[in-house]
Structure 1
Amino acid sequence: MKLMNVKGTSDSLPKEELIKRRVVNTLTSTFEKFGYMPLDTTILCYYDLLASKYAGGSEILKEVYTLNDQGDRKLGLRYDLTVPFSKVISMNVNKNITLPLKRYEVGKVFRDGPVKTGRAREFYQCDVDVCGIEGTFIEAEMLSMTSLCYKKLGIDVYIEVNNRKLLEGFILAAGIDENIKNKVILSVDKLAKIGERGVKEELSSYDIEDEKLDKLFSYFKCTIEELDNLDITNNTFTEGKEEIKELFNYLNSLEITECKFTPYLARGLEIYTGTVFEVFDKKQRIMSAIGGGGRYDKIITNFIEDGNTYPAVGISFGIVPICEILKEEVNEALYDVLIVPMNTNIESLKLANSLRKEDIKVLIEMNNRKLKKVFESADKNNVPYVIVLGENEVNEGTIEIKDMKNKTTSKFNINDIEGMKEYINK
């Protein structure tokens, strides 16, 4: 049997895992500053839940991993964290949950889709959602939080923002048949990738007159300030226009300059009902979005069906592409200090434990390798400091800590743990 990973999956080795943990810790600590609470939902779901018309739409169903359990029930692996979140709200509202609820979740999701850089089939997703708050007020706060998250990660981004009502209003104003609205939206959403000609070629099978397409694409050149000048009167456009204008009024007041109005942005999935946004790396190390989300007011409302409205908005942070970017930028050590015993096993264990009590990550060399090999390994793994602890050091009560980067050494009393801590953490 040839040992190999399934296409689109990978094992996370220690260096990659450290980067992922740093990303997750940075994000979740920021979420909590904005009042979000952790939640954990099931990976296995009933297929009917995932396939429901209120879930991810027909496009995503092509990528769902399905299976039958021993009771011949059809199940599926979750393809995102939004649908399971909606399920949790539906099952617990007015019982174990009070609204509004602000939650975040980090967990694995599965999609049997194309594999490319930054896009896998088994991957971590990190979602932040709010249920129970209408309007652009919460959306502005969410985009403010998003901006701060990427700043803390050290990734310079821009955020494309649009409104699905506005986009649908454009399509109706162009005279395009409402019955093919969703198909047009899916094609238009690819405008940045395949260009105007590519989108028009994709739409050619729907027999849309050229003048209607030209009119639609003329709307995509509008700025927010120009929306009021358009001769469009349908209610869908009007609602979308007012919402996007109000949102950008908040963003401009908060000086969130990363956000830019992108009137053709749709976010693909049919679940979105208002504001949508996608996050991109300015340096284009990853060409696809590294985060995105929007408002989805119908999913939970239609799940519960109790006559009430359950507005919701959320964003998903792309853990995989974010880590892909940071692995080129971050070269963190796996540990802080390497202790090399020279016939001093007990003393080395004692010293290591004393340093560990001070939150210093310590590895002890236990394979009796030659010092040259040990130092080569420390260099390769970016270990900042090495302590060679021999019998002479123990007898004299002094040790030397070698700074591997600066190629210098510093002496300490073997019991001066506080001094070593300050030196290592400097």
Structure 2
Amino acid sequence: MAQKPKIPQGTRDFSSTEVAKRSYIIDIIKEQFQLFGFNPIETPSFENSETLLGKYGEEGDRLIFKILNSGEKVKKADLTALEEGNLAKFSNSLSEKALRYDLTVPFARYVVQHQNEIDFPFKRYQIQPVWRADRPQKGRFREFYQCDADVVGSRSLWQEVEFVHLYDKVFAKLGLDGVTIKMNNRKILSGIAEVIGASDKLIDFTVALDKLDKIGEAGVKKEMLTKGISETAIEKVKPLFNFTGNTVEKIAKLKELLVASEEGMKGVEELEFIISMISKISLNSANLDLDITLARGLNYYTGAIFEVSAPDGVHMGSIGGGGRYDDLTGIFGLKDISGVGISFGLDRIYLVLEELAKFPETVIGTTKALFINFGKDEALYCLRTIAKLREAGVQSELYPDSAKMNKQMKYANKRKVPFVILAGASEMKNDIFTVKNMDKGTQEELTFEELIVLLC
């Protein structure tokens, strides 16, 4: 007996209903991207390993899917590294390419490679799948879509203001009132590390702080100690574990804490501008929150950081995130090109909309009219009519087999087709159609002109 096939863990098949719902989300995001002046690009699903490795930190590198060499390139494997037990080096020698981990680093590579063909500031959006060798769980998959928008070539903080409004507009269109857009600034985190005497441990400090909502104050302190951050430094950072108040009050506290750090004060100044300008324009559905523990694990952020959380009551990780990266293209040789971007988590947004029953009923497209098949002559009569209906934009189809009426009607019911059209010898003779309304259970005879009016 043949073994039942399976798909890889962390991947999914999508039914037609799920595809329709995902397309609904993508269409709204794409519409808003374009309204805000972004244009689409696409990049390959895999890149040269050197393009990706070292751009996401040690943890990110561990989650990159590598593609094994094939053919003659297999001979390049470093067997000495294997014999010496250096598995990381051996693994790298077996692979020269990798599936993309996100869309931002490939975008930076794209900008550098095509710098003479694009105009700065360059605004692009990209909606494509990415892959991460992560542990699958609710809302976290090994293959998933990112929906990114970025601007490179401008240091203006008005871009950050625009991105907050882009987030707000998309979630308002999706009917997700009450999402929270969390903001912070990497300069503030650098400033905090500086004033507590832990500048040399900045990455360890920020990664641990970013986990406060997951592992609590005790867990963060323990991780910081493990990473070599002194108890004295941790004591100085203690106020951050209960950093409360409105945005104005939080800004004031930060100014007091970071008065001795030029970089930290610069970060406060940037945040204050963004928050002030947003308050003057107002948001439709989202809440803005200054979250000083927000760090995000990616090393390339240098300024504002964004993360979007679902409405209260929905247990889900972030449904969006992003930030400012002042020299990401520098890793590929193009210096001093600042950029800022955000991403929407399609898969998590889908789960949130599903949990809150926010998908409109009209999202699920279905055939509007199914024509019953009574035989060859009748089928031809129906197909001629169906061709005209399709030209008018009506989704319609013919049941393929001349099966029993009961079977064809059951099929229409399962597909939730609203109208079933019957055209037998009598209808063909009089050039009419018998139309059954499946919801009401009523039946009437209509001419083609009347049928078009009903279905359109």
Query: One-letter code of the match for 1:273?
Result: T
Residue 258 (structure 1) aligned with residue 273 (structure 2): no
Structure 1 range deviating more: 140-149 or 153-162: 153-162
1:26–1:149 contact (8 Å) kept in structure 2 = yes
Shift of 1:209: 4.3
Paired residue total = 416
- For 1:114, the equivalent position in structure 2 comes to 135
Shift of 1:288: 0.6
Q: Choose which of 74, 87, 91 in structure 1 pairs with 2:113.
A: 91
Give % identity. 29
Pick closer, same or farther for the CA change 1:225–1:283 going to 2, 3 Å.
closer
1:45–1:77 contact (8 Å) kept in structure 2 = yes
* CA distance in 1: counterparts of 2:15 and 2:233, whole angstroms: 53
* CA distance in 2: counterparts of 1:376 and 1:325, whole angstroms: 33
Shift of 1:158: 1.8
1:224-243 deviation per Cα after TM superposition (whole angstroms, max 9, x unaligned): 32333414220121011001
Shift of 1:386: 2.6
* CA distance in 1: counterparts of 2:426 and 2:121, whole angstroms: 65
Shift of 1:283: 4.8
- For 1:57, the equivalent position in structure 2 comes to 57
Q: Choose which of 294, 311, 333 in structure 2 pairs with 1:282.
A: 311
- For 1:291, the equivalent position in structure 2 comes to 320
3-state DSSP of counterpart to 2:248: coil
- For 1:412, the equivalent position in structure 2 comes to 446
Q: Choose which of 371, 380, 385 in structure 2 pairs with 1:339.
A: 371
* CA distance in 1: counterparts of 2:247 and 2:72, whole angstroms: 55
* CA distance in 2: counterparts of 1:292 and 1:139, whole angstroms: 12
Query: One-letter code of the match for 1:66?
Result: K
Query: One-letter code of the match for 2:224?
Result: L
Pick closer, same or farther for the CA change 1:405–1:304 going to 2, 3 Å.
farther
- For 1:357, the equivalent position in structure 2 comes to 391
Query: One-letter code of the match for 1:260?
Result: D
Shift of 1:417: 5.2
Query: One-letter code of the match for 2:56?
Result: G
Pick closer, same or farther for the CA change 1:141–1:187 going to 2, 3 Å.
same
1:69–1:75 contact (8 Å) kept in structure 2 = no
- For 2:234, the equivalent position in structure 1 comes to 213
The 5-angstrom pairing of residues 6-405 of structure 1 reads: 6-52=8-54, 55-67=55-67, 68-70=69-71, 72=73, 74-93=96-115, 95-156=116-177, 157-173=179-195, 175-210=196-231, 212-219=233-240, 221-222=243-244, 223-226=246-249, 227-229=251-253, 230-232=256-258, 233-256=260-283, 257-305=286-334, 308-327=335-354, 329=357, 330=359, 332-343=364-375, 344-405=378-439
Shift of 1:210: 4.2
* CA distance in 1: counterparts of 2:434 and 2:388, whole angstroms: 16
Shift of 1:398: 3.0
Pick closer, same or farther for the CA change 1:338–1:198 going to 2, 3 Å.
farther
* CA distance in 1: counterparts of 2:119 and 2:72, whole angstroms: 35
Shift of 1:63: 0.7
3-state DSSP of counterpart to 2:279: helix
* CA distance in 1: counterparts of 2:414 and 2:176, whole angstroms: 26
2:210–2:294 contact (8 Å) kept in structure 1 = yes
Query: One-letter code of the match for 1:296?
Result: Y
Structure 1 range deviating more: 349-358 or 82-91: 349-358
1:129–1:312 contact (8 Å) kept in structure 2 = yes
* CA distance in 2: counterparts of 1:149 and 1:370, whole angstroms: 48
3-state DSSP of counterpart to 1:103: strand
Pick closer, same or farther for the CA change 1:139–1:350 going to 2, 3 Å.
same
Shift of 1:24: 1.4
Structure 1 range deviating more: 291-300 or 411-420: 411-420
Pick closer, same or farther for the CA change 1:18–1:394 going to 2, 3 Å.
same
* CA distance in 2: counterparts of 1:63 and 1:76, whole angstroms: 11
1:355–1:362 contact (8 Å) kept in structure 2 = yes
3-state DSSP of counterpart to 1:106: strand
The structure whose Rg is larger is 2
3-state DSSP of counterpart to 1:160: strand
1:45-71 deviation per Cα after TM superposition (whole angstroms, max 9, x unaligned): 11111013xx22222111111122546
Shift of 1:421: 3.6
1:298-331 deviation per Cα after TM superposition (whole angstroms, max 9, x unaligned): 21133224xx411111111111122233445335
* 5+ long unaligned stretches in structure 2: 74-94
1:64-107 deviation per Cα after TM superposition (whole angstroms, max 9, x unaligned): 111225463611110111111000101111x2112111111111
Query: One-letter code of the match for 2:348?
Result: P
* 5+ long unaligned stretches in structure 1: none
3-state DSSP of counterpart to 2:194: helix
Structure 1 range deviating more: 180-189 or 276-285: 276-285
1:161-217 deviation per Cα after TM superposition (whole angstroms, max 9, x unaligned): 1111112222322x1422221012111111122222222222231354445324323
Structure 1 range deviating more: 374-383 or 43-52: 374-383
* CA distance in 1: counterparts of 2:445 and 2:180, whole angstroms: 49
Pick closer, same or farther for the CA change 1:184–1:335 going to 2, 3 Å.
farther
1:243-269 deviation per Cα after TM superposition (whole angstroms, max 9, x unaligned): 111110121112125221111111211
Pick closer, same or farther for the CA change 1:267–1:373 going to 2, 3 Å.
farther
Pick closer, same or farther for the CA change 1:419–1:269 going to 2, 3 Å.
same
2:247–2:289 contact (8 Å) kept in structure 1 = no
1:100-142 deviation per Cα after TM superposition (whole angstroms, max 9, x unaligned): 1111111111110010122111122211111111132011111
TM-score (norm 1): 0.90
